[in-house]
């Protein structure tokens, strides 16, 4: 199962971060049954990712892509966006880790999906 990092509500103090997985409809509707109790099921939220235009970038392949992930986002926002004809849009950002076990751990990478809109005018 693929996991996702969902980032929303960006503000000066930080942002909200969710670890997510895409569940089938039956799993969402029967979460309490799947987890075995209502308390655990109540801790989960449904997060809808609206249809949007996203720029999708990847880190380099390396053993610890989480270490270089923040620099990737910074480069996209500071270097690529200003000359791209796009601006960041009000929508969740998504990260997708691709982890491989030894002996392929050096092939790990992360995707970053940034919501963008075309500059008008």
Instruction: Give 57-109 pLDDT, tens digit per residue.
Output: 999 999 999 999 999 999 999 999 999 999 999 999 999 999 888 888 899 99
**What is the reported pLDDT for 62?**
93
Residue 43: is its pLDDT beyond 70? yes
d(CA 51, CA 94): 13
Find the Cα–Cα–Cα–Cα dihedral 17, 10, 99, 67, rounded to 10°: -110
Number of domains comprising the chain: 1
Instruction: Give 90-102 pLDDT, tens digit per residue.
Output: 999 999 999 888 8
Q: How much is the average pLDDT of 46-53?
A: 88
Give 1's pLDDT tier (boundaries 50, 70, 90).
Answer: low
d(CA 3, CA 98): 9
Per the structure, the complete domain to which residue 73 belongs is given by 3-118
Work out the angle at residue 66's Cα, subtended by the Cα atoms of residues 57 and 88, and round it to the nearest 5 degrees.
40
């Amino acid at each position: 199962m693929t996991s996702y990092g969902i980032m929303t509500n960006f503000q000066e103090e930080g942002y909200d971060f969710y670890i997510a997985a895409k569940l089938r409809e039956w799993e969402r509707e029967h979460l309490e049954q799947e987890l075995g109790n209502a308390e655990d099921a109540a801790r989960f939220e449904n997060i809808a990712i609206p249809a949007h235009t996203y720029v999708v970038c990847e880190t380099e392949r390396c053993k610890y892509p989480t270490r270089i992930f923040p620099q990737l986002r910074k480069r996209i926002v500071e270097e690529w966006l200003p000359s791209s004809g796009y601006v960041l849009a009000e929508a969740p950002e998504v990260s997708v880790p691709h982890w491989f076990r030894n002996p392929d751990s050096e092939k790990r990478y992360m995707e970053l999906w940034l919501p963008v809109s075309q500059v008008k005018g």
